[in-house]
Amino acid sequence: MAAPLLEVRNLRVEFPTRRGILTALDDVSFSIEPGEILGVVGESGAGKSMTGAAIIGLLEPPGRIARGEILLNGRRIDALPYAELRRIRGREIGAIFQDPLTTLNPLYSVGQQLVETMTTHLPITPDEARRRAIGWLEQVGIPAAAQRIDAYPHEFSGGMRQRVVIALALCAEPKLIVADEPTTALDVSIQAQVIALLKTLARDKGTAMMLITHDMGVIAETADRVAVMYAGRIAEIGPVRQVVLHARHPYSQGLMGSIPPLDRRVERLAQIDGSMPRLTAIPPGCAYNPRCPKVFGRCLGDRPDLMDAGPTQAACWLYDNV
């Protein structure tokens, strides 16, 4: 097995607040192979976006990495000085954010933003960068790219803007893209197009991707592997087919079970009872124990780490000594 492109080891992110330290991510470990698409799913507040932000070094202060390490091609990037981290951002790890209406600077044309990103990272002239910028706009499916390059963000629709954001994330040819809910803010009809575009581009360029979403359909279609997050920890991680069809962790089972079936009518949509605990009130033992239908004594006291559960790994005592 080749060396992983990205490796996250025992990552812990804390927020010091007036009422004590909140642990937003606890002991998160996973890796991404070159060219692989890892889906990250979970409810709001599970720590999906936080993990992405930690990888690109954009945790909102006062959030900080308290423990663990992040390695890119075997090199630690979680404690780099700003100047070096900056050279990694965009150049080695690209980012796509949720809302394309707010991620583009309204006062710069899309061409200016593309050229600026490329000339920052690549040894090319502005003329060459402009030529490539038109190429990128064509690749992400902007019609009449040569004319549209001087247009400003407000002159594009939401879906088109997200295509521009994708071009911006890819234009300095990073090896990894962190896409944080890239389609959540888009119309349903546009979502599939944008996901298909992302998938095609990632495959063509051999770019690995960490795709954060709460849309299981997107994950099932796009990802190679999937990590299910719950209350700041990874509950289960494994090949997408296994996790979607044969989830091992009770939380993943509940999550998959709540996808409404399309082939028959149901009286009531399936759901997991209760809600995810707040960061201030995570129960001892397994964080999922108050909602878990299979809870037993050990879950209340000991916190499970990821353990082998057949083809996937699950943080659940059901699979201890299997």
Partner 1 sequence: MFSFVVSRVLQAIPVMLVVAFISFAMFAYVGDPVSIMLGQDFTEAQRTALVHNLGLDRSFLVQFLTFVGNALQGEFGLSYRLGRPVAELIAERAPATLELAFCAAFIAIAIGVPMGVYTGLYRNSWLSRFFLTFSLIGVSLPTFLIGILLILVFAVNLGWLPSFGRGDVVSLGWWSTGFATATGWKALVLPAVTLGLFQLTLIMRLVRAEMLEVLRTDYIKFARARGLSNRAINFGHALKNTLVPVITVAGLQLGAIIAFAIVTETVFQWPGMGLLFIQSVGSADIPVMAAYLMLISAIFVTINLVVDLLYYAVDPRLRVGRRGH
Binding region for partner 1 (CB under 8 A): 56, 58, 82, 86-91, 94-95, 97, 99, 102-109, 116-117, 120-121, 151-152, 154-155, 165, 168-169, 172
| Cα torsion 284, 290, 296, 297: sign | positive
Q: Answer whether 194's CB lies under 8 Å from 200's CB.
A: no
Q: How many other β-carbons are positioned within 10 Å of the β-carbon of residue 213?
A: 24
Quick one: 170 or 243, whose CB is closer to partner 1? 170
- Smallest separation (angstroms) from partner 1 to the CB of 58: 6
- Smallest separation (angstroms) from partner 1 to the CB of 95: 4
Quick one: 173 or 224, whose CB is closer to partner 1? 173
Quick one: 5 or 309, whose CB is closer to partner 1? 5
Quick one: 94 or 232, whose CB is closer to partner 1? 94
- The C-alpha atoms of residue 230 and residue 168 are separated, in whole angstroms, by 31
Residue whose tokens read 């296994």: 242
- Smallest separation (angstroms) from partner 1 to the CB of 132: 15
Q: How many other β-carbons are positioned within 10 Å of the β-carbon of residue 240?
A: 19
Of 260, 282, 235, the closest CA to residue 42 belongs to: 235
- The C-alpha atoms of residue 182 and residue 179 are separated, in whole angstroms, by 6
| Token duo for residue 153 | 């963000």
Quick one: 119 or 192, whose CB is closer to partner 1? 119
- The C-alpha atoms of residue 75 and residue 68 are separated, in whole angstroms, by 13
- Smallest separation (angstroms) from partner 1 to the CB of 102: 4
Quick one: 88 or 231, whose CB is closer to partner 1? 88
- Smallest separation (angstroms) from partner 1 to the CB of 91: 6
Q: What is the DSSP letter of 171?
A: T
- Smallest separation (angstroms) from partner 1 to the CB of 217: 25
Of 240, 208, 245, the closest CA to residue 227 belongs to: 240
